[in-house]
Structure 1
């Protein structure tokens, strides 16, 4: 199953890099991603918009605190910001997926990433789709889902680790994007490899 079905649709949004900072855009695109992702799977999804608003508010606060560093490495910053959004979605848990029937597109007994953790798969799909679309809009290299995203076991590990420590969501998102996480501090921007390689670390890290 394609992990980024939303990307072609959000690419139609004018000035997506700024529109993605608006809650109304998040609500529309989040729901649309669910419609596309769960179509024909036998899964239905219910969205708690209050929890989604909570996730967005926390993400926006963290984004505003770090956006002054975006120009150090614009490409990696977009990936980082998407990873932060993923973290907040996992914490707020605005999505509840339920099975209407057995997944009709999957032969009996075959494992699939979506079946392991529908909510986490949907959150990741949303964040990756938006990040890829923003980078394409900016004329930059887009992240492509790494092979690890096709491994059902990866999603089980993702779920277990973020349940214990939500901060690891940023690192798992890096893995999905084919990047090397900093597991010691996955949510710390200036400790990311792409930023350290620039040789422009901020003096004040408080």
Structure 2
């Protein structure tokens, strides 16, 4: 019986991120441009306005899906513009305002992993907290999510994807609740400097 080859975690992450980036690029740039070309051709040939409207919705939806999965700005401009772009999609789709406050353009964590940490946390809050606004404050060694929720308890993904990201980055999650305000704080654990990367 053949032994199964195990890939290092870094290679798996790289493959996963490359796949998501390529998919996002195809949706946003390739297929949406092809459909836009078709839309222009329909306009020139006097096509149905209903078909043109449907095609416009498809193009917009494809670009939204691209921005939700992996904003192209992540590779080009870094995590801060990517989170702001993702936040706009969340507001458009769910009506939840995402405000990002940061004193630095780049934290000392791999930018792709930091984006996934923030992205998945936003989605978890949106799905479980019944809130209409999330404030995110990024500092050198921490990321804080602040939001209002009527719930006394909110389910946290303790064993899933977020847990893996926390292990990878050496971050811990601390949850506090004060007068209806929730604070989810990811902070850097001491003694885990080897897990941190600087994308400079």
Q: Which has the higher strand share?
A: 2
Larger Rg: 2
Higher relative contact order (CA 8 A, sep 6+): 1
Is the TM-score greater than 0.5?
no
Q: Which has the higher helix share?
A: 1
